Chains A and B, each alone.
Chain A
Amino acid sequence: MIKRGVSLYSYQQSQFFKKLDLKGQIREVREGLGTDGIEIIDEAAIPHYPFPSEEFIYDWHSYMARYRMKAVTMDVYMDVHQFRDHVMTHEEAAEHLKQDIMLAHKLGFRNVRTLVLVPTDVIEMCIPTAEKYDVRIGKEIHAPWPIKPGGQIKAQKGMAAVVNFRMVDELLELKERTHTDHIGLVPDFGIFQYRPSEVAIDYVKRHAKNPDAVDWILENAANYSHDEILTLVDEKFPGHGIPGSDVERMATHESSAKPEDIIDIIPHIISIHGKFYNMTEIPGQPGHYEDKCIDYETPMKYLRQYGYDGYIDSEFEGQRDQQDRGVEHLVDEVEQVRRHHEMLRRLSGE
């Protein structure tokens, strides 16, 4: 059964402005959304991470119990420059992940989400810890990664240059080889995003020295390779003033994963990130909402049809593109997540 949850990532702006603290966020999920799934960002939700006080841990369990909540997934990171005098080794990265697994266990989480770039051997070193503490390691499938390799051209420039198209295959090979049920996948709905969000386009245009460059990227992205777009925009619009990462997101013209590819990985999914940027009312359907740049309908159909049993946790990310025009233009995160849950309820047949 598809269950609804929220990554508290969604309320980052409300937390920043002290409008909604950790407890307020949890209460909103129960009272505003009528559900129980909680996902956290370790370095945002846990005071004094990675050494929270015993008082915090007790209080967390108590509060989660009061609202009958489930600690689904804790999102953990791998900052390889932490020690600054050397790049963190894979062994050090594994120690870090083991500590995060133990912390997740202390807080009652069923899963940790590791980043898409965490090397497979780092995950392998952590399997005994994951089994001992009964916390599953879920590797994220994040755009621009695919689920399955299939004719993509390897980029040489930008973020896309580090994409390993076989990431999912390698993780599943590890799972088979080690016979563990404590590793799996966390697909992010961003892999089904097929064009840039309107809120992102508007942001990049406001900051570009030459906004025409943005229109050119939007019109031409489908006709050139990733690397060609990065080169051509510099040639055609010298001094355009758009950071490379923004050129890359403006160039999104097809989803990084095919919706049907999710079918085969359903047994390996530990939880899902419901990424979205901007929920707007569907024309002619009052009270029904959609994100116009992400295909939810097709993957949700497969998740239902093939019996996905787990959580989809809302992950609202549109706020960051609307924080450059004063407080009056800040978006209401609580309302955005409520709209997202209207869609999730509808598409999951709840």
Chain B
Amino acid sequence: MFDDFLIRKDSLKNVTHDGKTVGFCFGVRIADYRGCFLSLHNGYYISVDGVEYPREVQRFGINGKAPRTFEEIKKCCWEHWDFDDEGIVYVEKEGGLTPGVHRVGLQQSVLSQYGYMPWDEEWVKNPPVPGSGAGSGKTANICYYDLKLQEGEVEI
């Protein structure tokens, strides 16, 4: 669900730190009809122009706090990502993205489900790797977006 709208179209920007361009970021919404406890958010499958950026180089900005890794997010058992709110996905990439339009592939992993499932213990030990479709919430396919890199960089 919300296939065409999970990433805000005019949100792709490069990210700087200490005067150097260290990556890029974009705004996302939850692929569900409800929010979630933040701990359930398990990262993204992200590809840009065919290059994949795994969960280890991703951070997530939500609730007015500084971007956090998904290892930190995993511990936020009582913080909530509200349905109405946009989060920002930060991706490490030295030099950032080049100006122009980029093809971004996205699958969001949120481990919300409707009760006990046969794979529960396995998911505690080995959470699904985003992109496989497992743990992908209400939008199981990878969605693609042609996004123009916006002017101005985001300082973190």
**Bound form: Cα–Cα A79–B113 in Å:** 6
Q: Which chain B residues lie closer than 8 Å to A116 at the CB level?
A: 114-115
Q: Which chain A residues lie closer than 8 Å to B1 at the CB level?
A: 319-320, 323
Question: Which of B3, B29, B111 touches A81 (beta carbons < 8 Å)?
Answer: B111
Q: Which chain A residues lie closer than 8 Å to B133 at the CB level?
A: 243
Q: How many residues of B contact A (CB 8 A)?
A: 38
Q: A81-B123, A84-B77 are in contact. Are A323 and B140 (CB under 8 A)?
A: no
Q: Which chain A residues lie closer than 8 Å to B5 at the CB level?
A: 16-17, 323
Q: Is the CB of B33 within 8 A of A80?
A: no
User: Which B residue sits closest to A43, measured CB to CB?
Assistant: B34
User: Which A residue sits closest to B2, measured CB to CB?
Assistant: A323
Q: Is the CB of B124 within 8 A of A323?
A: no
Number of A-B contacts (CB under 8 A): 113
Q: Which chain A residues lie closer than 8 Å to B123 at the CB level?
A: 81
Chain A: minimal CB distance from B6 (Å): 10
Q: Is the CB of B36 within 8 A of A43?
A: yes
Q: Which chain B residues lie closer than 8 Å to A78 at the CB level?
A: 114-115
**Bound form: Cα–Cα A85–B127 in Å:** 11
User: Which A residue sits closest to B115, measured CB to CB?
Assistant: A117
Q: How many residues of A contact B (CB 8 A)?
A: 44
**Bound form: Cα–Cα A85–B120 in Å:** 11
- Return the CB mask of A24-67 against B: 1 if under 8 Å, else 0: 00000000000000000111100111100000000000000000
Instruction: Please tell me if A223 contacts chain B, counting CB pairs below 8 Å.
Output: no
Chain B: minimal CB distance from A122 (Å): 10
Q: Which chain B residues lie closer than 8 Å to A49 at the CB level?
A: 35, 80, 82
Q: Is the CB of A50 within 8 A of B80?
A: yes
Q: Is the CB of B37 within 8 A of A79?
A: yes
Q: Is the CB of A87 within 8 A of B120?
A: yes
- Return the CB mask of B9-40 against A: 1 if under 8 Å, else 0: 00000000000000000000100011111011
Chain B: minimal CB distance from A17 (Å): 8
Q: Is the CB of B114 within 8 A of A84?
A: no
**Bound form: Cα–Cα A325–B112 in Å:** 26
- Return the CB mask of B98-118 against A: 1 if under 8 Å, else 0: 000000000000011111111
Chain B: minimal CB distance from A141 (Å): 13
**Bound form: Cα–Cα A119–B34 in Å:** 22
**Bound form: Cα–Cα A42–B120 in Å:** 24
Q: Is the CB of A41 within 8 A of B33?
A: yes
Instruction: Please tell me if B74 contacts chain A, counting CB pairs below 8 Å.
Output: yes
Q: Which chain A residues lie closer than 8 Å to B117 at the CB level?
A: 80, 162
User: Which B residue sits closest to A117, measured CB to CB?
Assistant: B115
Chain A: minimal CB distance from B44 (Å): 17
Question: Which of A118, A161, A243 touches B115 (beta carbons < 8 Å)?
Answer: A118
* Residues of B117-152 contacting chain A, CB below 8 A: 117-118, 120-121, 123-124, 127, 133, 138, 140-141, 143
Q: Is the CB of A323 within 8 A of B4?
A: yes
Q: Is the CB of A16 within 8 A of B2?
A: yes
Instruction: Please tell me if A12 contacts chain B, counting CB pairs below 8 Å.
Output: yes
Instruction: Please tell me if B49 contacts chain A, counting CB pairs below 8 Å.
Output: no
**Bound form: Cα–Cα A86–B122 in Å:** 10
* Residues of A69-86 contacting chain B, CB below 8 A: 77-86
**Bound form: Cα–Cα A47–B1 in Å:** 22
Instruction: Please tell me if A245 contacts chain B, counting CB pairs below 8 Å.
Output: yes
Q: Is the CB of B118 within 8 A of A117?
A: no
**Bound form: Cα–Cα A245–B113 in Å:** 13
The CB with the most chain A CB atoms within 10 A, among B35, B37, B77, B114, is that of B114
Question: Which of A15, A82, A243 touches B141 (beta carbons < 8 Å)?
Answer: A243
User: Which A residue sits closest to B74, measured CB to CB?
Assistant: A84
Q: Which chain A residues lie closer than 8 Å to B74 at the CB level?
A: 84
Chosen A-B contacts, 21 in total, with CB atoms closer than 8 Å, are A12-B33, A15-B84, A41-B33, A43-B34, A43-B80, A48-B80, A49-B35, A49-B82, A77-B114, A78-B114, A80-B113, A81-B124, A82-B40, A84-B127, A87-B124, A117-B114, A119-B116, A243-B140, A246-B140, A319-B1, A324-B4
Q: A81-B40, A320-B138 are in contact. List 8 more A-B contacts (CB 8 A).
A: A18-B84, A43-B80, A44-B35, A82-B37, A84-B127, A85-B124, A115-B114, A162-B116
